[in-house]
Amino acid sequence: ATFVEINSVNGLLASTDSYQDSTGASQNIPADATTMYTPATLALIDEPGVDLDGDGSSTGTDIPGIQLTDASLGVNTTVSVVFTVSFDPAAMAGTEIKNLFAAQGNLDDDNGTTEDAVKSNTVTTVIGQTYAVDADDTETAPDTTDDDVFNVASAASGAVVDFQHTITNNGNGDDVFELSVDTAGSTFPAGTTYSFWNAAGTVQITDTNGDGNPDTGSLAPGAANALNITVKADLPASASVAGPYAYTLTATSAGDPAESDDSTQGVLAAITAANVDIANSATAIGLGDSADDADEYMAGTPITTNSAAAGATTSFSLFVANESGNPQSYLLGSALPSGWSVVFKEVGIDTGDGADGPPDGILDNVTNAGNVVTATPNLPGGAVYHYTAEVKVSSNVAQAEADYTGADAVDGAGSATSPTDGDGDYPVTFTVVSASDSGINDSKLDAVDVVANRDISITPDGANQVQPGGNVDYLHVLSNDGNSAETVELSAANSNAPDWTNTTQLYVDTDNDGAPDDYRELSQVAALATAGQLWVRDQAGNPVQIGVVDADGDNAPELTLDAGEKVELQVTVFAPGTAALGTQDTLSLIATNTDPGAGAAASATATDVTDVILGQVRLDKAAGVDADCSCDTGSADALWIPDSGFAASQTTQVEPLQCVIWNLTATNEGAATAKNVIITDETTPYTTFLTANSDNNTVANSGTDPEVKWEIGELPAGESARAQFCVRVN
């Protein structure tokens, strides 16, 4: 306790009585005895024989006090002093304040003796409990400002947002403080719920005093005993109200609820829309920032470009970040070039150090690593899903060109992972879409640079016979079997030149209907190209136009074939009239690459071997598609005519259970009748023989799988015999 003032003095006289001042000197009592002392002018008092300070010792007291002397106290006379003290405001409730008064006088009228002091009864005052509370923000990151408001910059829709507050007992005794949020006064979106947790946000605060409300539990007074708590605001999944958002937290004393409470606020500046991000690396993803689009899709600018050969598989690392506040599952998709395919495989999930993350680059869940997936599992808000896209490049060279020139062709972005190399690359787009809300989606652009594989061919090699002065035709197909455009020049040479000669012709469009229909010599091809009539075939057999130039002016044009394109050729070999029986000539048909470009140049050669005979029967073979199998009627009255017409190189495709009619024509090109002529053939694999036919019903026809045989007998000079057989495709 601390002395405040003397309120009144009774029974003492100003003229004869005295008091002890702060120095211990005796002073006359003033006329107004209440002005004798101020709190700073009390003397130190030690009254022998009396334990004034309650320390158990009657000596050595030396405590501040008041001491007054009555010069003479008469019989039945009373002296009283009334004074006021103040108690320490920090004194705990229940503290006992004891007051003791002592009187000492010369009772035997002998100044040589000192009588013991007489002490009064002890008056005990007990400090009552006061109630007070302070609710404040913690002033810790992310908000270190001392303004009684805990601020959070932003959170995703559906997120659980943490706000930090401190509750301090400013009373003088233990107290319990009820916690509440004024939901009616909150400006958070409707549907937001609030809960109270410990400072770490890991243990929920519950009711400890049985009133049904969450509270702090018993809290001792003082800042040293303050309690830090977390208020979690659980946002609705589709919050769209404009911010900022504020709530008021109130802590109310359970001991004095009507008079003792305090409030503090939590403020969220913005709620970002639910979002998802897909990228090639986890470090590119900006979690919690829906405005950030990692590896943002930009048409024509891939983020990552992989190299792969036609038919090979290449892998892309992908990361999906759930930037929504609530758990989400996402469908995984892609947009690939025609003929390509992809398989997605799980790597793992990074949910971060704690329940709320953020991701730390360490995979917390790899249980399903390596599994083929089409969607992510339900990802917690802020989690990142790791997976790979195993992209298989088409083995069809027309769908895997080394220099892709389609309208959507891209080139590397010029980065370390996507270098610009000047040739066209195939775009590969990866997508993610929320399984519950298609409006939550993202995509990214990567690419595949297909490795060049340069390859052309001329097929087949030929062999036939010719009479002296005669000629023979050989059919060939020049095909670009690689995945790069090839420019070639054709040339042909006889081993027995100059007596033996040849001509080379292309099968081209001569009537400008967009379909090849006749052969033309190479010297005429450039003119056809200029007139727009040079049409050849692509890989599927469809007519396409090709580029033609004659850069060296040798009247042998250079043909440019894209991947998969092919040109039908006919080479005619002429034998001299002086050719001796048994002479053999070899013609070499050569396609020479005139534009090697990168890598090894692609060239090809076919050979046709011609033998000289004096008599000659030439056999030509063609095929046609008979869709309804009308050949299988049991009638042999006339030769069959297929639906597609006959062609040595048939472009009409045949389906299972349809039929193919094979037509064989034997022509006697000699000067004398050929005797014992027999035509034989074999059925092709995956077909079933049905029946045979010929243009002479007197000719015996026989057929078995796989051999078919016609006994023609004599064949006069210049005449022909036709034989047919029909098979059904299995």
Average pLDDT over residues 249-268: 94
pLDDT in tens, 506-534: 888 888 787 788 888 888 888 888 777 78
Both 583 and 466 in one domain: the answer is yes
pLDDT in tens, 599-647: 556 789 999 999 998 777 888 899 999 999 988 665 555 788 898 889 8
When pLDDT is cut at 50, 70 and 90, the band that residue 703 belongs to is: low
Closest CA to 532 of 509, 549, 554: 509
Both 256 and 311 in one domain: the answer is no
Instruction: Find the helix or strand (DSSP H, E) in which 544 lies.
Output: strand 543-545
Average pLDDT over residues 247-276: 92
* CATH (domain of 658): 2.60.40
Average pLDDT over residues 475-499: 93
When pLDDT is cut at 50, 70 and 90, the band that residue 585 belongs to is: very high
Both 84 and 173 in one domain: the answer is no
In the listed set 393, 425, 450, which residue is the last one of a domain according to the structure? 450
Both 523 and 460 in one domain: the answer is yes
Cα separation, 273 vs 237, in Å, equals 9
When pLDDT is cut at 50, 70 and 90, the band that residue 241 belongs to is: low
Average pLDDT over residues 355-359: 51
Task: Please check the confidence at residue 414 and state whether its pLDDT lies above 90.
Answer: no
3-state SS string for 284-310:
HCCCCCCCCCCCCCCCCCCCCEEEECC
Task: Please check the confidence at residue 356 and state whether its pLDDT lies above 70.
Answer: no
Both 292 and 432 in one domain: the answer is yes
Average pLDDT over residues 676-697: 83
46 or 157: which carries more pLDDT confidence?
157
> Which residues lie across from 96 on neighbouring strands?
126
Average pLDDT over residues 664-693: 85
Task: Please check the confidence at residue 339 and state whether its pLDDT lies above 50.
Answer: yes
The pLDDT assigned to 271 comes to: 87
Instruction: Find the helix or strand (DSSP H, E) in which 528 lies.
Output: helix 522-530
Instruction: Find the helix or strand (DSSP H, E) in which 215 lies.
Output: strand 215-219
For the chain, the distance separating the N- and C-terminal CA atoms, rounded to the nearest angstrom, is: 115
Cα separation, 445 vs 596, in Å, equals 32
Cβ-contact 93, 14 below 8 angstroms = no
Instruction: Find the helix or strand (DSSP H, E) in which 530 lies.
Output: helix 522-530
Cα distances from 691 to residues 550, 646, 661, 677, in angstroms, run 50, 18, 10, 21
Cα separation, 591 vs 595, in Å, equals 12
Cα separation, 225 vs 688, in Å, equals 97
The pLDDT assigned to 133 comes to: 95
**Out of 176-190, 402-416, 695-709, least confident range:** 695-709
Q: What is the count of structural domains for the chain?
A: 5
Task: Please check the confidence at residue 138 and state whether its pLDDT lies above 50.
Answer: yes
**Out of 49-63, 330-344, 425-439, least confident range:** 49-63
Both 23 and 89 in one domain: the answer is yes
Q: Spell out where 220-312 has E strands.
A: 227-234, 245-253, 261-272, 276-279, 305-308
In the listed set 95, 126, 157, which residue is the last one of a domain according to the structure? 126
In the listed set 612, 644, 666, which residue is the last one of a domain according to the structure? 612
User: pTM of the prediction?
Assistant: 0.63
pLDDT in tens, 155-213: 888 888 999 999 999 999 999 999 999 999 999 998 899 999 999 999 999 999 999 99
Sign of dihedral through CA atoms 436, 439, 444, 448? positive
Angle at 329 between CA 323 and CA 335, to 5 degrees: 90
Domain hosting residue 572, numbered range: 456-612
The pLDDT assigned to 429 comes to: 97
* CATH (domain of 335): 2.60.40.10
Cβ-contact 449, 418 below 8 angstroms = no
Both 264 and 283 in one domain: the answer is no
The pLDDT assigned to 636 comes to: 52
Cβ-contact 139, 165 below 8 angstroms = no
Both 265 and 356 in one domain: the answer is no
When pLDDT is cut at 50, 70 and 90, the band that residue 354 belongs to is: very low
Average pLDDT over residues 326-337: 94
Both 88 and 196 in one domain: the answer is no
> Which residues lie across from 434 on neighbouring strands?
330
- pLDDT above 70: percentage of residues in the chain: 92
Angle at 422 between CA 420 and CA 424, to 5 degrees: 100
Mean pLDDT of the chain: 86
Both 254 and 363 in one domain: the answer is no
Both 299 and 262 in one domain: the answer is no
Both 99 and 199 in one domain: the answer is no
3-state SS string for 655-671:
CCCCEEEEEEEEEECCC
Average pLDDT over residues 720-730: 91
Average pLDDT over residues 287-314: 81
Cα separation, 473 vs 452, in Å, equals 35
Cβ-contact 626, 658 below 8 angstroms = yes
